[in-house]
């Protein structure tokens, strides 16, 4: 599964140039032409990274970023700022942008920033795309063998617990609502359960993988939203 990148940019030529460069590198690209559309896609598609232009019709890039973070999205955001606009850079970084590129920029530079941000955000997990093994600290999730280890210690999970962990750990920082997790589990097995049972599964999962389930370092509760696997 390749990383998905959302481009929010109203200038068609710029957007297409970035799209082409990213696709050449094997990324999946989603495009939005306005801030409103960008927000909607950011919520529905849960991209791994967002490239966000500051100057947009309707709500601008700053407002998009602010609402994204308020909604709990922690995907890295690379902002496209106007030339030499120091104010834009400062505001963007204060609002939680991870990096910025000043227009006009070269696609090669943009690509290297994108790669650096993905590496910083997802670490080895980004490499797990082909490796089928997810590692975080001493937690090792072997997706092919469906085996979970803490260091040398083998951890026995139920199929449902494994599926929840697999989904969360595959996208660190991506917040899953209980409803979403339930939907994902339905794809896997016929579950006649409601959202509260997700809490029970998460609780059992934490008992097994966390050192201190009341202060989890892997599976974190995002209050009022759901759960997310820890970013490094």
Residues at the contact surface with Ca ion, assessed by CB under 5 A = 10-11, 53, 55
Structure tokens that stand for 98 in this block: 């991870």
Shortest approach of Ca ion to residue 104 CB, angstroms? 12
Of 10 and 63, CB closest to Ca ion: 10
Contact 47, 197 (CB under 8 A): no
| Dist. CA 178–CA 186, nearest whole Å | 12
Q: ω before 46 within 30° of 0 (cis)?
A: no
Q: Give the three-state DSSP class for 22.
A: helix
Shortest approach of Ca ion to residue 165 CB, angstroms? 40
| Dist. CA 129–CA 32, nearest whole Å | 26
Virtual CA dihedral for 118, 63, 37, 74, nearest 10 degrees?
30
Shortest approach of Ca ion to residue 83 CB, angstroms? 13
Of 105 and 188, CB closest to Ca ion: 105
Shortest approach of Ca ion to residue 54 CB, angstroms? 7
Of 39 and 164, CB closest to Ca ion: 39
| Dist. CA 59–CA 36, nearest whole Å | 7
Of 53 and 88, CB closest to Ca ion: 53
Q: Which residue is nearest to Ca ion (CB)?
A: 55
């Amino acid at each position: 599964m390749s990383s998905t990148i959302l481009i929010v940019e109203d200038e068609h030529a710029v957007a297409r140039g970035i799209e082409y460069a990213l696709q050449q590198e094997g990324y999946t690209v989603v495009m939005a032409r306005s801030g409103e559309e960008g927000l909607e896609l950011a919520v529905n598609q849960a991209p791994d990274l967002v490239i966000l232009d500051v100057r947009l019709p309707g709500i601008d890039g700053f407002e998009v970023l602010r609402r994204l973070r308020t909604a709990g999205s922690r995907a890295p955001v690379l902002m496209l700022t106007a030339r030499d606009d120091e104010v834009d850079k400062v505001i963007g970084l204060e609002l939680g942008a991870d990096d910025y590129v000043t227009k006009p920029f070269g696609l090669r530079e943009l690509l290297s920033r994108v790669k650096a941000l993905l590496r910083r955000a997802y670490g080895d997990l980004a490499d797990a795309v082909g490796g089928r093994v997810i590692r975080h600290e001493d937690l090792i999730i072997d997706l092919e063998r469906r085996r979970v280890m803490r260091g040398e210690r083998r951890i026995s999970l139920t199929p449902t617990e494994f599926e929840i962990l697999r989904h969360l750990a595959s996208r660190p920082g991506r917040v899953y609502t209980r409803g979403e997790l339930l939907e994902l589990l339905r794809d896997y097995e016929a579950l006649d359960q409601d959202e509260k049972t997700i809490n029970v599964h998460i609780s059992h999962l934490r008992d097994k993988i966390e050192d201190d389930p009341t202060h989890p370092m892997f599976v974190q509760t995002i209050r009022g939203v759901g759960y997310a696997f820890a970013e490094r």
